[in-house]
Structure 1
Amino acid sequence: MTQTIRQTKAADPRVGFRGDVEGLRALAVVLVLAGHAGQQLVPGGFVGVDVFFVISGFLITGLLVSEVNKTGRLSLSGFYARRAKRLLPAAVVVLVATLVLTFAFLPRTRWSATGWDVVSSGLYVMNWRLAEQSVDYLAANRAPSVLQHFWSLGVEEQFYLVWPLLLVAALWLGRRRYARTSFMVAALALVAVPSFAWSVWLTSDNPARAYFVTTTRMWELALGGFVALLAAYLHRLPRPAAAALAWSGLVAIVASAFLLSDSSAFPGYLALIPTLGTAAVIAGGPAAGNAGPAVLLAVRPVCAVGAISYSLYLWHWPLLVVAEARFGELTASAGLAVVAASVVPAALTYRYVENPIRRSETLAWQPTRSLQLGAVCTGVAVVAGLSFQLTVWPPAAPPAPPSLAVPTVGVNGTPATVNSPTVAGATALGKSPTTSAAGTPVDRVGAFVPDPLVASQDGPDAWKDGCHTDQRSSEVRSCLYGDPDASFTVALAGDSHAAQWLPALQRVSVSKQWRLKSYTKSSCPFINGVVALDSRPYPSCAEWNEKLRRALTGDERPDLLVVSTSFYVMVRDGAPVASQAQAAFADALRRTWSEMAGAGIPVVVLRDTPYHDKDIAECVSENPRKLTRCASPRDKVLAGGGGPAHETAARQNDKVHLVDLNDAICPRERCAPVIGGVLVYRDNNHVTATYMATLAPRLATALDRVLA
């Protein structure tokens, strides 16, 4: 996102301050801020970023073309110098301030990630970091980054590394002035067409990644560039036609902000609505004059917001994240109050950082100084982010699993040894967990494992052993544990809530000399049907299920099938089942389990574990002397997730056995975050592998009853 370039009007219609464009910037930032303050206010407020992309493409392309028309050449050093002094000083101020806010107000579990986010933001690659995290199972349940909004700045700056070079090539090919525009349009098309096609495809295939990557957004900046190249022709539009074009564009922007939501397939085709709307407002504005949207957008208060929009965008999100971390989930009115308060640091940054540097005569006449300033700002951000890692240095190591009374066997039958000391965990609850004092939440406990800073890494071996299928793949992967030569085979199937039971099942398999095979996939239950992921059909899950069911009833038939799952919305006729979602999910589970039982395979359903409102590991890190703040009501947390559907679906089928061990996970009226020296949860809905391993004796007893 770039700031408006204020210049005196020139003969070239592509250059000069335009109040309607400044007003568009104000509209864009207000949409973003309102959407972040409360999605119910403006569900599609994120389209403000797309408005910024088009405006930025228009302004920067216009300036580049104007330079070419005046001088016959393009100074790459001058261009990058202007970008450096315009963007980097304000950005580094916010990045350093964000580290201070993180240190003062955010839990330590977020410190290391924030330091790396500062490094990524300072190098303008935050969008690629977020794209990787969007498909990273370990990052799926993390709180949003305090610098998540820097993704859009990364997209723009990466685009502007490429676009001037393409312009230089176009100028070289179109040496004659009359041919320049044609070659520049062709250069933009070379970027826009494949980028738009890729955006449409990737949005349908991997929407989370498509949202952040540069390649799906370049066409939006190119669209603004097209408007800049055609500006001389657009100025000749008849006034009524120009006014109609500009007003229809404004309506399209506002309508998209209220009609789209985070469940929309975006960017893809839908991004055409706000981007073409923005292009229409810019294209029709000059010829329409006061008959167009300028009558609203160019008024002084609106332009004043547009002027500070860059700093406002930079400041609002860190303040929102910090406020939510300190006070819990914000209401819409509280969110609006926070973004309104961000006007203060934004105005100060604009007044004392942006303007003095932007208007510096020394920097204007000596581009090298601007490049040096940019290098210093980038260096400060990178060094600050790396240095911030010292606040959590040395990093805590993930815990080794509890020791066993029997030798363990690793993946694919490979011998493994465990040298860690025994931890109590669930065994501290004794024979009557619901009355045990060990399960009562208390404010302070002694030493416990895992350290909350690394609890997110305390997951099942399926992660490191490479047999947990990610969201994109439909390949059926499996890992072999226990006794590889055993005659009795147990299969574990389902999503991450099935995978979390692997540590306990591994120990049971070793002690009973069973053969254990793990089949799990991210965000995908073991089910015969189509489920929704991000409110859209999840085809790779359906394909994975079909292959797995065929394998389990064929060559890989187990003697016992163990399943578990979180809650999912089913898809019928291409759309999520909105009403009676629990009933639809339970019905699909019942059919699936009955099919497996009908094929002669006994099914054990491990009732889903508690779903908390907060990240328990993060809460424990933040409240080490007040752990009761992290204790959730049992009735509430057991009502979430897939548990209720499991209970419904398992009824009236004597070959489907429901095993509920939640008395040993949340034994009292409120769920203790630490039991028997072990942190129970690694986020808000997954049990740590360390604690899960201590449930092995109880699981073994339950399975003995099933198999008796």
Structure 2
Amino acid sequence: MSTALAASPAPAPAGAQPKGFRPDVEGLRAIAVLTVMWYHARLPGLSGGFAGVDIFFVISGFLITGQLVREVEREGRVSLPRFYARRAKRLFPAAATVLVTTAILTSTLLSRVDREDFGGDIMAAAAYVVNWRLASRSVDYLAEDVGASPVQHFWSLAVEEQFYIVWPLLIVLLAFVIRRGHIATRPGLALGLAAITIPSLAWSIHLTATAPARAYFVTTTRLWELGVGALVAVGVPVWQRLRPAYGSALAWGGLALLTVGLFLQSTSTPWPGSAALVPTVGAGLVILGGFTAGPEGPARFLGTRWPVAIGALSYSLYLWHWPLVVIADHLTDRSRLWAAVAVAFSAIPAWATHKYIENPVRYHPRVSASAKVALLVGLACSLLGVAAGAATYAAARVGGVKVAASGADVQGAKDLLERAKNPSTLNDPALGITPDPLKAVDDVPKAHLDECQATIDAVEVKTCEYGDLTSPTRVAVVGDSKMLQWMPALEPIATRNRWHLVLYIKSTCAYADVVFDQDGKDYTSCRLWGEEVHKRLVADPPALMITSSLRPWAWVNGQRNEAELAAGYVRWWKDLQAPVIAIADNPYPGKEVYSCVAEHPKTYMDACSVPSGPGRGTPSMAAAVEQVKTARLVSMNDLVCPGDRCWPVIGNVLVYRSGSHITATYVASLTDMLEARLLRAAEELGITD
């Protein structure tokens, strides 16, 4: 998106408009950037303001393809060095300025964990691959605690930079084929570009339906939007022959279409997919019709002074507003007022960057005269951004908590049995702690690395098997990530007791005959997944089912209902015709413990301990156990949060990782205690082998 903000020919320093300048397109960019900024300020009204990104993609595809096609027609070829030099000198200096400033703000105002996460993001943004990093994070439940990145908006810039690498090469290839085949230039280019655009649209629709979080960021689902603008550019000779009345009708119709989308579409709309056709087709029609619409078209206000001025400033506005919103959110706990203030304030650094960095570098005589110099300037700016991100990443380690050396004698929960001390004293500072708080979210069960947990969007049931795979004693392990967290202890327990574990795990999805909610909507994929799991387990009952979940309530007619969740557990547990052991949900600390420990390397035991509690998912499971004779509740909470406190570190082991999940290292230290309690419950249920 950002490059679309910058891609059109802007006024030269002397003030003369360059040949081919379209003030209505500049005004369209103003609409796009203002809607994005309004949306990010969390102001009411424009629920679809995020679609400004899609408008920018169309503008960028139109402008860049138009430049390339005209060069092919004029010179019979495309100068790739000259093309890339124009992009580098125009875009990279401002981007580097924002990245360096963001790195400084992140290093001074945000937590150590944020510095490490966002330092990596800044490096990826400077290298124009951050969209792929964000796509991976969006489908990784381990990243659930990572807040919005201050350079998250660079994902669209990354998409366009990747487009800029591939598109000229594609135009060059098509031009060669067209010359060899004696094909008319523009019809040939149109066919070639359509062959890229249409499959990309189809893929976007498919991936949006199957993996929407990933589909939002990846280049392949966005290429078609740039392709729409490219096809408009290729068809210019046709559009220029339209009657003014037709051009005006098309342009006004396009503006009406994208306006409807901005007001009626929302975050609940699957995106990008087919829904993104609304703003992209709308933007394309505004540009297409504008060739002949004249003063009777939208140019009568899009091409006036203020929209054109905002359009010229749109690249810098886009670059600056989002980091300031993120910083404001961290400092004010996501206050809407301060988000709006941050967006408004961004106009000041945006104007200064445009006036004192963008234009001076872009129009410097040496930079303008030499493609080599321009490319070197762009490379230097990118390397500066990478260095700023690396420095931010490294800053997270300065003065941090001591991490236990490999092989250090850390005891974890074993210390609770071996020493009669207050847990707050059960740490030897000389040993350090493990896992590293900055890497705590990666301290996960092997089963997670084996991709045994179905994602939120997944419906298909995937199973994983552990323990003694030859044993006839099949134990079903069913639930969400709070069940999966016990695998570092369950796996050795299963091996020692000749249990054949079969895992049925899905993110935030409890095994119960109810509907849950996800972001205020029916969690349909959980329901479908659960029904299939239940069908399999009823058809072939296991010797034992072990389950757990963080879910505290069911979703009934748009309302939360704890009693209905307990009833849903009861219905399926009784249906199962197999004994059930429910592991109590561990207490929820109410803060990111690992981040707190990283921030308080000397005082973390006092600063990061919190009162204990039953765990959010425990009451409903406990109520269900009371109603099912063949069910038992096993709780480890007295060993996770001994006494009335949840201590951040026990036996030199960090207890919590993301959210209320327990680190794999601490769970492993609970193996013997969990085994004793499970076997006691199994014996009560009549399971002796």
Equivalents in 2 of 1:535, 1:201: separation in Å? Answer: 24
Match of 1:404 in 2: none
Match of 1:707 in 2: 683
Superposition pairs for residues 595-606 of structure 1, below 5 Å? 595-596=575-576, 599=577, 601-606=578-583
Partner amino acid, structure 2, of 1:476: K
Determine whether 1:560 maps to 2:549: no
Partner amino acid, structure 1, of 2:490: L
Equivalents in 2 of 1:514, 1:6: separation in Å? Answer: 70
Match of 1:87 in 2: 91
**Contact 2:46–2:263 (CA<8 Å) still a contact in 1?**
yes
CA shift in 2, pair 1:332/1:5, >3 Å: same
Task: Deviation per CA, 1:272-330: give whole Å up to 9, x if none.
Answer: 01111111222223433343333333332333322221122122222222232333x21
**Contact 1:447–1:677 (CA<8 Å) still a contact in 2?**
yes
CA shift in 2, pair 1:621/1:87, >3 Å: same
**Contact 1:263–1:534 (CA<8 Å) still a contact in 2?**
no
Match of 1:368 in 2: 372
What is the aligned residue count? Answer: 670
Equivalents in 2 of 1:123, 1:108: separation in Å? Answer: 23
CA shift in 2, pair 1:86/1:225, >3 Å: same
CA shift in 2, pair 1:333/1:455, >3 Å: same
Task: Deviation per CA, 1:202-234: give whole Å up to 9, x if none.
Answer: 111111111111111111011111222223433
Match of 2:480 in 1: 495
Equivalents in 2 of 1:569, 1:193: separation in Å? Answer: 44
Equivalents in 1 of 2:563, 2:49: separation in Å? Answer: 33
Match of 2:687 in 1: none
CA shift in 2, pair 1:663/1:421, >3 Å: closer
Superposition pairs for residues 113-262 of structure 1, below 5 Å? 113-175=117-179, 179-262=184-267
Equivalents in 1 of 2:44, 2:626: separation in Å? Answer: 38
542-551 vs 71-80, greater mean Cα deviation: 542-551
Match of residue 281, structure 1, among 286, 289, 306: 286
The Cα shift of 1:58 comes to: 1.3
The Cα shift of 1:577 comes to: 5.9
CA shift in 2, pair 1:352/1:476, >3 Å: same
Partner amino acid, structure 2, of 1:497: K
- SS at structure 1 position matched to 2:206: helix
Match of 1:34 in 2: 38
Task: Deviation per CA, 1:28-61: give whole Å up to 9, x if none.
Answer: 1222222223275543222111111011111112
Superposition pairs for residues 12-27 of structure 1, below 5 Å? 16-27=20-31
- SS at structure 1 position matched to 2:326: helix
Equivalents in 1 of 2:414, 2:47: separation in Å? Answer: 43
Partner amino acid, structure 2, of 1:605: A
Match of 1:357 in 2: 361
Equivalents in 1 of 2:23, 2:589: separation in Å? Answer: 49
Partner amino acid, structure 2, of 1:22: E
Superposition pairs for residues 187-586 of structure 1, below 5 Å? 187-327=192-332, 329-386=333-390, 388-392=392-396, 420-424=409-413, 427=416, 438=423, 448-464=433-449, 467-468=452-453, 474=460, 476-481=462-467, 490-506=475-491, 516-527=501-512, 545=530, 548-549=533-534, 552=537, 557-567=541-551, 578-580=558-560, 585-586=565-566
Determine whether 1:681 maps to 2:656: yes
331-340 vs 359-368, greater mean Cα deviation: 359-368
- SS at structure 1 position matched to 2:585: coil
TM-score normalised to the size of structure 2?
Answer: 0.85
The Cα shift of 1:602 comes to: 0.9
**Contact 1:398–1:458 (CA<8 Å) still a contact in 2?**
no
- SS at structure 2 position matched to 1:46: helix
- SS at structure 2 position matched to 1:336: helix
Match of residue 599, structure 2, among 605, 615, 622: 622
- SS at structure 2 position matched to 1:492: strand
- SS at structure 1 position matched to 2:632: strand
**Contact 2:48–2:262 (CA<8 Å) still a contact in 1?**
yes
The Cα shift of 1:201 comes to: 0.7
Partner amino acid, structure 2, of 1:621: A
Match of 1:411 in 2: none
CA shift in 2, pair 1:14/1:70, >3 Å: farther
609-618 vs 350-359, greater mean Cα deviation: 609-618
Task: Deviation per CA, 1:388-422: give whole Å up to 9, x if none.
Answer: 54435699998799xxxxxxxxxxxxxxxx97432
Equivalents in 2 of 1:585, 1:313: separation in Å? Answer: 45
Equivalents in 1 of 2:241, 2:590: separation in Å? Answer: 58
Match of 1:56 in 2: 60
- SS at structure 1 position matched to 2:547: strand
Identity over aligned residues, as a percent?
41
Equivalents in 2 of 1:373, 1:17: separation in Å? Answer: 26
The Cα shift of 1:120 comes to: 2.0
Partner amino acid, structure 1, of 2:190: V
Partner amino acid, structure 2, of 1:578: G
**Contact 1:199–1:268 (CA<8 Å) still a contact in 2?**
yes
CA shift in 2, pair 1:518/1:167, >3 Å: closer
- SS at structure 2 position matched to 1:526: coil
- SS at structure 2 position matched to 1:212: coil
CA shift in 2, pair 1:673/1:191, >3 Å: same
Equivalents in 1 of 2:602, 2:31: separation in Å? Answer: 46
- SS at structure 2 position matched to 1:144: coil
CA shift in 2, pair 1:422/1:663, >3 Å: closer
Task: Deviation per CA, 1:99-158: give whole Å up to 9, x if none.
Answer: 222211221113333333233222211111222222234324322323221111111111
**Contact 1:58–1:228 (CA<8 Å) still a contact in 2?**
yes
241-250 vs 681-690, greater mean Cα deviation: 241-250
CA shift in 2, pair 1:341/1:654, >3 Å: same
CA shift in 2, pair 1:424/1:525, >3 Å: closer
CA shift in 2, pair 1:586/1:135, >3 Å: same
CA shift in 2, pair 1:587/1:242, >3 Å: farther
Match of 1:413 in 2: none
TM-score normalised to the size of structure 1?
Answer: 0.83
CA shift in 2, pair 1:392/1:91, >3 Å: same
The Cα shift of 1:189 comes to: 0.3
The Cα shift of 1:595 comes to: 1.7
The Cα shift of 1:335 comes to: 0.7
**Contact 2:553–2:620 (CA<8 Å) still a contact in 1?**
no
246-255 vs 196-205, greater mean Cα deviation: 246-255
- SS at structure 2 position matched to 1:450: coil
CA shift in 2, pair 1:311/1:611, >3 Å: farther
CA shift in 2, pair 1:535/1:16, >3 Å: farther
Equivalents in 2 of 1:302, 1:430: separation in Å? Answer: 72
Partner amino acid, structure 2, of 1:423: G
Task: Deviation per CA, 1:474-509: give whole Å up to 9, x if none.
Answer: 45332423x777776543222211111223435655
Equivalents in 1 of 2:391, 2:560: separation in Å? Answer: 51
CA shift in 2, pair 1:187/1:513, >3 Å: closer
The Cα shift of 1:426 comes to: 8.4
Partner amino acid, structure 1, of 2:196: V
- SS at structure 2 position matched to 1:562: strand
- SS at structure 2 position matched to 1:684: coil
Superposition pairs for residues 606-645 of structure 1, below 5 Å? 606-611=583-588, 614-624=591-601, 630=608, 638-639=615-616, 642-645=617-620
**Contact 1:423–1:677 (CA<8 Å) still a contact in 2?**
yes
Equivalents in 2 of 1:39, 1:650: separation in Å? Answer: 46
**Contact 2:10–2:18 (CA<8 Å) still a contact in 1?**
no
Partner amino acid, structure 2, of 1:526: Y
Equivalents in 2 of 1:446, 1:323: separation in Å? Answer: 38
Unaligned runs of 5+ in 1: 402-417
Equivalents in 1 of 2:24, 2:206: separation in Å? Answer: 34
Equivalents in 2 of 1:157, 1:665: separation in Å? Answer: 48
The Cα shift of 1:649 comes to: 4.3
